Chains A and B, each alone.
Chain A
Amino acid sequence: MTRIAILLLTALVLLYGVVYPNLAVVGGSFQRAGAWTLANYREILSQRVVIEAIVSSLGLSIGTVFFCALVGVPLAFLFERFTFPGRRIFAALAALPLVLPPLVGTVAFIFLAGESGILAHGIQNLFGLQSPPWRLRGWPALLLFHTYTMYPFFYVLAGAGLRRIDASLAEAARSLGASKFTVLTRVLLPQLTPSLLAAALLTFMTSMASFSAPQLFGGNVRVLTLEIFTARQRGDFTMAITETVILAVISLGALIFFQRYEGTRRFAAAAMKGAPRRRASIASGPARVLATIVAIFFAIVLVLPVATLLLVSFAQENSWTTQTLPSAYTLANYQRLFGDPYSSEVFVNSLTMSAIAAVAALLWSFCIVTLLRRRARTANFFGEGWRRLLSLLVLVPWALPGTVVAVSVAEAYGSPSLLLGSFVLVGTFWILPAVYFLRFMPLVVRALQASMEQIDPTLEEAAGSLGARAWQRFTRVTLPLVWPGAVAGTLLAFVIALGEYVASVLVFVPVNRPISIAIASEMRDFNLGAAAAYGVVLIVIISISMMVAGRLERLRS
């Protein structure tokens, strides 16, 4: 009985949330005036702007992967394999850019490195230059920002991969006569390929979906996400959805490409007792000093944008024009944020909508995981084929750029339709919680799945042999063991939804204006202090949530 209810609920959510909107977009892109046609594609692909956007998006993503690997992998080797003064400072900060909402990061970057930012002003004033020494625009700016925000994918995953490698393998290779270099190229790197591929995939997809940075300082680099946004602003919905399909196809294509390739490079995890590798201490004096300097330098680089944001949030209006640092400080920005109902309303909106989406995702994850769970030897809920389809459908909204999800939901539920009757989602409060739910529920599902997999299956069997029924086994054994992991995943989804911008900007309405939209409009009005203050409050909420999540993670292990 419960099983049927779970199955029905899952099917409904996937049908309404994933299958139908995506089909609606694809269908719409092949239609014109009610007739099936390829005209939309022919027209769009003959426009130089669109081709440029596709090439820019691909080029930006590939460049980002390259630079992130170039920065992240050596750092992972340095910090995973060696120990020296300063190592811990960097290691603690390394993942900071990952928790920064992209829009907040972009804004902080502008304050720090923009042409009227602290660095540019500093150099200008120092040398008495007529104009700022650089302009934060176009390719270099985008690649720099993307590398700053996305290198942690490589750093974290390569580091985890290095930790997993059994130290005795390298020792065995050395004893067989391999040089250190041979060990690196023939033993370590091949084993690291799965981690590197996963990092490359994440970086590519994130870069493909990137929107805030291209919007705020892309200059003449027009990427697809931005093109879709402007097409919708112009009212050219056909063009928007056709471009959306192109963006979706590229993203899913990358996903399939990487997973294909990954499948050929997977190594059977050696089920043996290996000695974990100890970090080697760097003995030579100069190398030690150099490593320490690198650690401190990168730690400063990581913290600077956030520190800048904090500083600017206290800047008095018009106190920061040509000076290196703002000249007068005040609490006015924060007072306005919490005092003015119009300003404080966005917090209520964002918190409510993110909480709705996260809690719904948590509840729903239990349904999905129940269905997906592979019971080692007893009867499974599903055949292998169904299980794969289900996991794929769950992952789709996560793999697709936020722009695609928002556009497809808007397209599918923008007018009365077969599935919703006369209810129109677009223009209501509920569209954002729905979009947040779709985009971030895969995170919660993954977290819950990971927790479930950690449970020893014999525990449930033991409970069964002691007489506990299915429901008792769930509430008394499974639930107490998975909840820390599940709640940590939910918190993660919650904080990401809190700073969401890409999808929100496409479908928000006055009643559900989220924080990110407020930041963007303050930036447009040159209320830099107010924009920074929003960003700081957001970061504080996120930090607290992440600390709680971290606690829970530790509780689990």
Chain B
Amino acid sequence: MAFLSLKNLSRTFGTTRAVTDVSLDVNQGEFFGLLGPSGCGKTTTLRMIAGLEKPDAGSIEFQGADITNLPPERRGFGMVFQNYALFPHLNVFENVAFGLRARHKTKAEMSERVTSALELVQLPGYEKRAVDELSGGQQQRVAIARAIAIEPALLLFDEPLSNLDVSLREETRSELRELVTRLGLTAVYVTHDQEEAYALCDRISVMVGGKLMQTGRPRELYEQPAEISVASFLGRNNLIKAMRVSSSKTSEGEFKTLEGGHTLRLPVKHEELAPLNKPVYLSIRPEHVQLSPNNNSAENSLRGNIRDIVFAGATSTVRVDAQGLVIEALVLRADGLEVNQPCTVILSPDHLKLLKN
């Protein structure tokens, strides 16, 4: 039995369908990510879990009990908001103690739990500070302390790091993960930043346009995106429009690209065999594209001209025009490559993937 389970959740605002038929399971102790571009419905999904939003259809089960209609104050989930939502009229202590007061804890227990929560987020001794005296990162920690002080059954994060600057964000990210693991909590984490999701989460659901596209481990998602929308959202990707031409039912498919008319071969599983003469998408990550200045006889090697080279510090991006088909390659060093020079692009069959349409 899943710890938290969403079943066919849907939510419409006016005429826009924010969330459509989302189902997913979160296991106990898991750090679960909801990843997607802005407006994809991930925050709405999180708010439905928190009880701040009522689904139009579907249900939410927590530890086997239906909590779909339970108001937020009776769910006992801690939530960290994107803007932190710290109470401006209360000091740090009172902010962290807010949930404990609502639970009518004794004074002694309250101060003990506030102190330990503040220690956990490395803000000991900040009890008397006013919230607006704190820096963004400190406010962020207070928000986390406030959420964990109630010993939540589930921790919900709504893009909590998006208001921090880059270096602070990475530092807080690892501390956050460590804290959640140490306390043995289960977390659902919403973000649009894939790197953040990869670094934090055990499993991730990718949402696009209100629908859940794919759920899996970070590596799985990155290397085997099942759909075009996931592939194009998760990092840069070469999407190649092609048509299957071979009719044999072997495990190898032969495709003809629509641009450039190249022939590409890759292993294809029987069940995902693409129909003949119908356009499909093949994808390959730029870092898996190999370049060679000379002619090369490897499988799936295409001749072309280097169109441009963009230097980006540690890596360079090289775009090669192979008779109309433009392929992007990520290389560590672009030494010896020049714009307008001929070049061979190798799309290794191991990395070339057939996407579900």
> Interface residues, chain A, CB within 8 Å of chain B?
377-379, 456, 458-459, 461-469, 472, 476-477, 480-481
Contacts and interface: CB of A to CB of B under 8 A. Distances in A.
B304 interface: no
Nearest to A462: B85
B73 A464 contact: yes
A468 B13 CA distance: 26
Nearest to A481: B89
Given A377-B13, A467-B103, A458 B83 contact: yes
A458 B81 CA distance: 8
Nearest to B89: A480
B78 A465 contact: yes
Given A378-B52, A379-B54, A467 B85 contact: no
6 contacts: A456-B83, A461-B52, A464-B71, A465-B77, A466-B146, A469-B102
A481 B47 CA distance: 24
B150 A461 contact: no
B117 to A, nearest CB: 12
B239 interface: no
A461 B13 contact: no
B102 A465 contact: no
Nearest to A455: B88
A459 B76 contact: no
Given A379-B54, A458-B81, A461-B81, A466 B98 contact: yes
Nearest to B143: A462
A463 B98 contact: yes
A467 B81 contact: no
Interface string B65-92: 0000001111111110101010111000
Given A458-B83, A472-B102, A476-B98, A465 B89 contact: no
Q: For this complex, into which size category does the number of interface residues on chain B fall?
A: 20 to 34
A380 B314 CA distance: 53
Interface in B29-65: 47, 50-54
Contacts of A472: 102
Nearest to A377: B53
B73 A469 contact: yes
B73 A458 contact: no
B79 A465 contact: yes
Nearest to B11: A377
Contacts of B83: 456, 458
A459 B131 CA distance: 13
B160 interface: no
A467 B102 CA distance: 6
A477 B73 contact: no
A378 B53 contact: yes
Interface of B: 13, 47, 50-54, 71-79, 81, 83, 85, 87-89, 98-99, 101-103, 146-147, 150, 156
Contacts of B87: 459, 462-463, 477
A377 B71 CA distance: 14
Given A377-B13, A461-B85, A462-B81, A467 B73 contact: yes
B232 to A, nearest CB: 27
B98 A465 contact: no
Contact of B85 (A379, A459, A481): A459
A472 B150 CA distance: 16
Contact of A462 (B47, B54, B79): B79
A464 B52 contact: yes
Contacts of A466: 73, 78, 98-99, 102, 146-147, 150
Nearest to A458: B85
A378 B53 CA distance: 6
A458 B52 CA distance: 10
Contacts of B79: 461-462, 465
A484 B103 CA distance: 28
A456 B85 CA distance: 8
B146 A378 contact: no
Contacts of A477: 87
Given A458-B83, A477-B87, A465 B13 contact: no
B97 to A, nearest CB: 10
B188 to A, nearest CB: 13
Interface centre among B52, B77, B146, B147 (most CB of A within 10 A): B52
Nearest to B96: A466
B43 to A, nearest CB: 11
A467 B76 contact: yes
Given A463-B102, A464-B72, 16 more contacts: A378-B54, A459-B87, A459-B88, A462-B87, A464-B52, A464-B73, A465-B50, A465-B73, A465-B77, A465-B78, A465-B156, A466-B73, A466-B78, A466-B98, A467-B76, A467-B103
Contacts of A462: 79, 81, 85, 87, 146
A418 B150 CA distance: 56
Contacts of A469: 73, 102
B151 to A, nearest CB: 11
A251 to B, nearest CB: 35
A378 B89 CA distance: 25
A477 B150 CA distance: 18
Chain A to chain B: the 6 pairs with minimum beta-carbon distance, closest first: A466-B99, A462-B85, A458-B85, A464-B72, A467-B102, A465-B79
A481 B52 CA distance: 21
A459 B87 CA distance: 6
Contact of B98 (A461, A468, A480): A468
Interface centre among A377, A469, A472, A480 (most CB of B within 10 A): A377
Nearest to B74: A467
A463 B72 CA distance: 9
A480 B87 CA distance: 10
B276 to A, nearest CB: 48
Given A377-B13, A477-B87, A465 B52 contact: yes
A123 to B, nearest CB: 58
Contact of A468 (B54, B73, B76): B73
A480 B13 CA distance: 31
Contacts of A465: 50-52, 72-73, 75, 77-79, 147, 156
A465 B148 CA distance: 12
Nearest to B98: A466
B185 to A, nearest CB: 15
Interface centre among B50, B72, B76, B79 (most CB of A within 10 A): B72
Contacts of A467: 73-74, 76, 99, 102-103, 150
A480 B95 CA distance: 14
Contacts of A461: 50, 52, 72, 79, 81, 85
Interface centre among A464, A465, A476 (most CB of B within 10 A): A465
A229 to B, nearest CB: 48
Contacts of A458: 81, 83, 85
Nearest to A461: B52
A213 B228 CA distance: 75
Nearest to B81: A458
